[in-house]
Every structure is written in structure tokens, then in C-alpha cells.
Amino acid sequence: MTHDVYAVGNALVDIQTMVADDLLSELKLDKGIMTLVDDEKQATVLSRFDLPSLSRCAGGSAANTIAAVADFGGKAAFVGKIGDDETGQFFLKDLRALGVTIDVDPQPETPSGTCAVLITEDAQRTMLTNLAASTALSEADIDEDVIAASKYVYIEGYLFTGEQTKAAAYKAIELAKKNDVKVAFTASDPFLVNMMKDEMWDLIRGPVDLFFCNEEEAKSLTGLDDPIACANKIHESAENVAMTLGPNGSILMHGGEAIPVEGVKVKAIDTTGAGDMYAGGILYGITNGLDWRQSGHLASHAAARVVAQMGARLAKPFTAEEVKQLTDLTV
């Protein structure tokens, strides 16, 4: 079976809940960012809530994106490591229900990774990530046959926080290049850009065909303040760039051209997964016959729809007719 996108990322089950700002202060959490926590810290935080009543879905940055590709009707595959537990089985069933190809051996005697997403009234999300079994992803889990039958390999930057998962990411990139498959890479988080700036530039100048980032990440990467200047600077090295600007839309760089994409005005409830959903819209579009402007338009509407609800997975996926209407830019 051929795939549009083969994604490599941390396999996490997202657990979302609304909280008051006071709780973040009590737990001494930095609002609006992702923090890595151990098993004990995660258990302490989750013990504050009635878990069965909370929303959960197969998550992690790349998994959210690949779920979006599948939701749009694309052919998608994912590799990430799960534990041999109920949470891991939930992850597999959740992605497979969307039609995503995923075939990994569970890590014995290790809990599956989770991400507690604490959402405040201002729609900011504070994420506590316990990577757990996902850190066991290795080069041996990367499937060359599936990569060779794909149009794009999509790598999440979060993999670069661990040596073994980083090696897996590089293996996927190596096999993609060997088989003439394009590589997309997402910066994932400003702290990652600052942590691995030189390495990220090496990727952009080298194997990466499509680089995803947001405005803050682009500014950290380039040292520039103007978004257009940032996009141009990255495009000097990367063939294609997709840079999100929050409610102001996004900028696509392709073929030396800057393609501005309008934002879609909505009342934001939860910004979790907005960038992941945007990437899913772009990747679906460019692997299914849409041009870059059409893909950007679809991605912008998808990101707007996901921030207007709770959770990183669309409660109401786009119908084929909606996709057709959104990508007919002549009307």
C-alpha cells in the first residue's frame, strides 16, 4: 500500500481538561509551554482529576498531524513506541480507526506516554509530557518499505530531545533520501530551536524539503524580527517553508515566492494542536493534487476549526464537499 505521508514521532495519549490559572500556580507550572515530567509528577497532576470523564485521544505532535491527513482522506502511516498497557492499546485503536497504518511492538513493562493538556480560560494550553515508552523508539522501528512507498516522511522536532529517538529520526530521513521520498520537518517548540539551532540549520540546508514553524520559532531560528524576513531567510536554504502566524494566518514559501494565507476569525477555546492540524492540511493538500495556495487555504481553515473546540482532533472533520469548496479559490 502506498502512503501520502509516513510520520515519525512520540506516541502519546493526550488527556485534556479545563483548569483555572490558580492550579497552574499551585503546581508551579509555566503557563503556555510544554514541560517534560517523570512518571511520579504526571501521576501527581492527573490524580487531581476524574480521568474517566476527561477527553483523550492518540496524540503527540506527529500523530496529531497524521490523524489530520487521514481525516481529510489521505493515506497515512505512523511509527512511534507504546507501552504494553491499556493506554498503548487505546493509542493503536484510535489511530487505526482513522485508517492510519501503524505496526509497532509494544515496549514491555513500560507505561505508554501521556500528555496532560491543561487548558485555561484564555485558550492557552500548558502541556505536561511524560514520554515513558515513546523514548524507546529506535532505528529498528523504522520501516524502509513503508517509507519507500510514501510521498513524504514527516519528522517531529520533539524526537531530538533523546539520543535514541533522534537516531530513529535520522534513520527515517536517510531512508527517505535513499528512496527519493521528500522530507518534512517541524520545529515543534521554541525551546527546541534554541537547544539545537545549529543542528536545525543543518537539516534545513540539507535533507529537509519542507520546514514547518511558527512565528516565534522562526524568530528564534533566524534572529530576525519581521515575519516576512524570517520566512525569506529560511527559504534561502529550505525549498519550501510553512510558517504560521497565529490568528494572522500563515506564510508559505515555494519556488522563491511568498504566498500569504489569510487567517480565519474564530473564538479560540483551545489552541492545542493548531500547528499540527495546519501541517496536516498542508501535507494532505500537496500530496493530493492541490497547489500550495489551495493547501494553505485548507490548512488555515482546519487550524481555525480545531482551536474553536476542545482537543487536537477535529470533532467534526471536513467533508469531501467542504474540502472541494475550500480549495476552489475561483469562487
pLDDT score at 55: 81
Residue 32 backbone class (left: φ over 0; alpha: ψ -120 to 50; beta: rest): left
Pairing of strands 210-214, 240-244: parallel
- The answer to whether position 229 is within a domain reads yes
pTM, two decimals, is: 0.91
- The answer to whether position 173 is within a domain reads yes
- The answer to whether position 122 is within a domain reads no
pLDDT score at 39: 85
Extract the runs of DSSP E, i.e. beta strands, from the chain.
3-8, 12-18, 34-36, 55-59, 76-79, 113-119, 125-130, 150-156, 182-186, 210-214, 240-244, 250-254, 257-261
- The answer to whether position 211 is within a domain reads yes
User: Residue 181 belongs to a domain with what CATH number?
Assistant: 3.40.1190.20
- The answer to whether position 151 is within a domain reads yes
pLDDT score at 331: 44
Distance CA 294, CA 290 (A): 6
Residue burial 274-304, b: 16+ Cβ < 10 Å; e: rest: bbbbbbbbbbbbbbbebebbbbbbbbbbbbb
- The answer to whether position 42 is within a domain reads no
* Cβ atoms of 4 and 75 closer than 8 Å: yes
- The answer to whether position 121 is within a domain reads no
Q: What's the domain count of the chain?
A: 1
pLDDT score at 14: 87
Structural domain range at position 311: 1-10+59-109+131-325
Per-residue pLDDT of the chain (331 residues; tens, 9 = 90+): 699 999 999 999 988 888 999 999 998 898 988 888 998 899 889 888 886 678 888 999 999 999 999 999 999 999 999 999 988 999 999 999 999 999 999 999 998 999 998 989 998 889 899 999 999 999 999 999 999 999 999 999 999 999 999 999 999 999 999 999 999 999 998 989 999 999 999 999 999 999 999 999 999 999 999 999 999 999 999 999 999 999 899 999 999 999 999 999 998 887 778 999 999 999 999 999 999 999 999 999 999 999 888 777 888 889 989 999 888 875 4
- The answer to whether position 137 is within a domain reads yes
Please name which of 245, 48, 214, 218 lies closest in space to residue 128, comparing C-alpha atoms. 48
Distance CA 271, CA 125 (A): 7
pLDDT score at 24: 93
pLDDT score at 312: 78
